[in-house]
Chain A
Amino acid sequence: MASNPFAHIVTQCSGPPSASDYAIDRALRMIVKGAAAVILLLVAYIIFELGRQALPAMLNFGPGFLIGTEWNVQDQVFGILPEIWGTLYSSLLALFLGGLFGVAIAIFLTQDFLDHRLSNVFRTIVEMLAAIPSVVYGLWGIYVLIPLIRPAAEWLHDSFGWLPLFGTDLAGPGMAPAALVLAVMILPTVAAISVDAFRRVPYKVKEAAYGMGTTRWEAILKVMLPTASSGILAALVLGFGRALGETMALAMLIGNSNQISLSLFAPANTLASLLASSFPEAGPVEVQALMFAALALLAITLIVNVVGLWVMKAATRKFEGKA
């Protein structure tokens, strides 16, 4: 019995790293660092290129571009305030609806309302919404959603027309169908990430809450939701980012009219939709203006992300007790 039963393991596991181990380790680190650097370079290059092409428009139109309300190719007068308004308004509406339903779905799927297997099936179905192409959402909006909401819209306009929210008649495309479709489009993002956020909360947290005598809803709303809040906020920021940049479905549904209106049923426009519909046939000066608009969209997205991160950090500090 002299032979060591662990001999084969010993020879494999112990001993200092060999030269090839070092080499592999170094190579991997270089590749990973390189990949990270490429991403940064790419973003920098995109901003640089956009800025370079937008520069003539920036010098030409100045800050007035951001508060101008007209996009007139013939007179070469360009302004994007209606588009900025439409982008933010549609995205906020979508975030409100999509966020509400997304978080509700996440609660439904994670807080023991459903059998485990069933909830997995449900989750997969919700995530499949993300796989539907944007143009299909657009067509669905035109052929299904708009006729569906038209009676309700007419009733709202007739009964509550004095509210600026319902101030105009729904002609067909407009803010309401666009925001509704946008809400469906960001739903999978919000729901999936919120589900993960809830699952990350240790089960003993909930047990502790029950132990202190909370009801189920108290446990969910006062314990689980705040504890998962940083993840949920991350989901909302991502969803909002997606809503800001969504193009094709909105180009088909929002009506592409350069006006600023609070009314949910009035046609409006967004930056991404403006870019998509004007770019292919734009002349040289209009292209510069469009590049400026793209830069503005990029800036809005950046601001949203920074603010989102900041709120997330604050939430983490407040509810999860981490610095």
Chain B
Amino acid sequence: MVFANVARSTLAACTLSALAFAPLASADEIQLNGSGASFPFPLYAKWAKDFSRKHKGIQLQYQAVGSGAGIRAFLAETVDFAASDAAMNDEEIAKVPTDKGVVLLPMTAGEVVLSYNLPGNPELKLPRDVMQDIFLGKLTTWRDERLQQANPGIDFPDDDITVVRRSDSSGTTYVFTGHLACASDEFKQEVGHGKSVNWPKSFVGAPKNDGVAAMIKQTPGAIGYIEYGYAEATGQPMASLQNKAGEFVKPGEASGQAALASAEFPSGDLPGYAGTPDLRVWVCDPTGEAAYPIATFTWMLMYQHQDEEKAQVLREFIEYGLNKGQKDAPKMGYIPLPENVKAKVEDALKLVGDSK
């Protein structure tokens, strides 16, 4: 009797596990892999999960390996799609195998915020020139006339400013230095604009967003840049920044969309691709009064010519991300795409795959 029971349950377990593994083994299962930027990872991963759940026989996966690694994987054709916070530059686009072709689609957007560690963490307003001086390494103490004027309510400590920066090369640094390089020629000359730049030697480097966030939390008098979504999730204090119009603006969904609304897409085609719109645009220093100064799109990289079956799934996936997926964005700390951008992406989407 006991034996029979064991045998039966073993049999049941075997059948169950066979069932569980069956989808993996079936031949008509479509597996799509993407990799790239870590900034949009939580959002893309959620899209991929929800999309795969809705469509039987489709497995979509996205791995956060960094924008640079994502582009490398895309050029080496080891993925079905990739993602990058810095899009691709002209050189990289020229390296895409011509029998594949590339189209770049902005899929979501985000902000970079300045987080800090001051006694009691009051709401900090950071004037433009003060922010530039801090990140040029020129202003090293919190007791500053201009800071005090902008924040009459704060009793600044007699601490040195410890600037925490990313030690790894990252899209966040690219976006952040992009804004500063736009706003200040001196910054462009001294520090530069890129995924890793020539920071002053006194700055402290920490790996990834969580490393920078932890370092700020642990160091009195620290300030550093992290992604909005990350700061929001971990409850880090975020400074209001002064935009080009002179207003102090808090980071958030509305101020981010105001920044992106001023984006002017280039009118030409992607270099080397007649008929493919160039959707690479940066709003390094938005002019709107309500605009938060540091906002950016982030892109997905798709092959133009590819297996039609896969292309069909990818188009559906992007459709999903553009419509349903945008509703997930604000909850997770991203900025939904403005309508005009969405229309452009929908247009460019037709280029994925050969059936037009």
A contacts, CB < 8 Å to B: 70, 72-75, 139, 142-143, 146-147, 169, 171-174, 251-252, 255-259, 267, 269, 273, 276-278, 280-283
- A74-B192, A142-B215, A281-B168 given; A259·B201 CB < 8 A: yes
- Is the beta-carbon distance between A73 and B207 smaller than 8 angstroms? no
Residue contact B198 to A252, C-beta cutoff 8 Å: no
| From A74, A139, A255, A256, contact of B197 by CB (8 A) | A74
Q: Report the bound CA distance from A273 to B66 in whole Å.
A: 17
Q: Are B162 and A282 in contact (CB under 8 A)?
A: no
Residue of B69, B194, B203 near A257 (CB, 8 A) is: B203
Instruction: Pull 10 A–B residue pairs with CB atoms less than 8 Å apart, ordered by A.
Output: A74-B192, A146-B218, A171-B160, A252-B206, A267-B205, A277-B167, A277-B168, A277-B207, A278-B168, A282-B169
Question: Does A280 lie within 8 Å of B160, measured CB to CB?
Answer: no
Q: Are B214 and A142 in contact (CB under 8 A)?
A: yes
CB-contact partner of B206 in A70, A169, A173, A276, under 8 A = A173
Tell whether A251 pairs with B207 under 8 Å between CB atoms, given A171-B162, A277-B167, A278-B196: yes
Which A residue sits closest to B219, measured CB to CB? A172
Tell me the bound Cα distance from A35 to B199 in angstroms.
48
Contact A280 B201 (CB under 8 A): no
| Interface contact B68-A74, CB-CB below 8 Å | no
Measured CB to CB, the nearest residue on chain B to A266 is B202
Task: Check: B96 CB closer than 8 A to any chain A CB.
Answer: no
Interface residue ranges of B172-199 to A (CB < 8 Å): 192-198
Q: Report yes or no: B207 in contact with A252, Cβ–Cβ below 8 A.
A: yes
A-side contacts of B162, CB under 8 Å:
171-172
Known interface pairs A72-B198, A283-B68; A278-B215 also in contact (CB < 8 Å): no
A142 touches B68 (CB 8 A): no
Q: Known: A73-B194, A277-B207, A281-B66. Contact between A147 and B168, CB under 8 A?
A: no
Count of residues in B whose CB is under 8 Å from the partner chain: 32
Whether A169 pairs with B160 at a CB distance below 8 angstroms is yes
Nearest CB to that of A257 among chain B residues? B201
The 7 A-B residue pairs with the shortest CB-CB distance in the complex, in nearest-first order: A256-B205, A281-B169, A281-B68, A256-B167, A172-B219, A277-B168, A171-B162
Residues B167 and A74 in contact, CB atoms below 8 Å apart: no
A174 CA / B164 CA spacing, docked (Å): 12
Inter-subunit contact A256/B206 (CB<8 Å): yes
Q: How far is the CA of A321 from the CA of B160 in the complex (A)?
A: 58
| CA gap between A34 and B194 in the complex, in Å | 49
Contact of B214 among A72, A143, A171, A280 (CB under 8 A): A143
CA distance A72 to B211 in the complex (A): 22
Proximity string of chain B (206-225) to chain A, C-beta cutoff 8 Å, 1 when within and 0 when not: 11000100110011001000
B contact residues around A252 at 8 Å (CB): 206-207, 211
Chain A residues with Cβ under 8 A from B196's Cβ? 73, 278, 281
Q: Are B204 and A171 in touch, CB under 8 angstroms?
A: yes
Greatest chain B CB density within 10 A among A139, A147, A171, A267 is at A171
Q: How far is the CA of A169 from the CA of B68 in the complex (A)?
A: 35
B205 contacts A277, C-beta separation under 8 Å: yes
Chain A residues positioned under 8 Å from B219 (CB to CB): 146, 171-172
Query: Could you tell me the distance in whole angstroms from the C-beta of A36 to the nearest C-beta in chain B?
Result: 35
Task: Report the minimum CB–CB distance from B296 to chain A (whole Å).
Answer: 16
Contacts of A74 in B (CB 8 A): 192-194, 197-198
> Which chain A residues lie closer than 8 Å to B222 at the CB level?
171-172
Q: Distance (Å) between the CB of A303 and the closest chain B CB?
A: 27
Q: Are A280 and B65 in contact (CB under 8 A)?
A: yes
Say yes or no: is B170 at the interface (Cβ < 8 Å to chain A): yes
Establish whether residues A280 and B68, one from each chain, have CB atoms under 8 Å apart when the complex forms: yes
Does B108 sit at the interface, judged by CB under 8 A?
no
A141 → chain B, closest Cβ, in Å?
10
Residues of B with C-beta under 8 A to A267: 202-205
Complex CA distance for A74 and B169, rounded to whole angstroms: 12
- Closest chain A CB from B305 CB (angstroms): 25
Residues of A within 8 A of B197 (CB): 73-74
The chain B residue sitting closest to A171, CB to CB, is B162
For residue B316, give the distance in angstroms from its CB to the closest CB of chain A. 30
* A272 vs chain B, min Cβ distance (A): 13
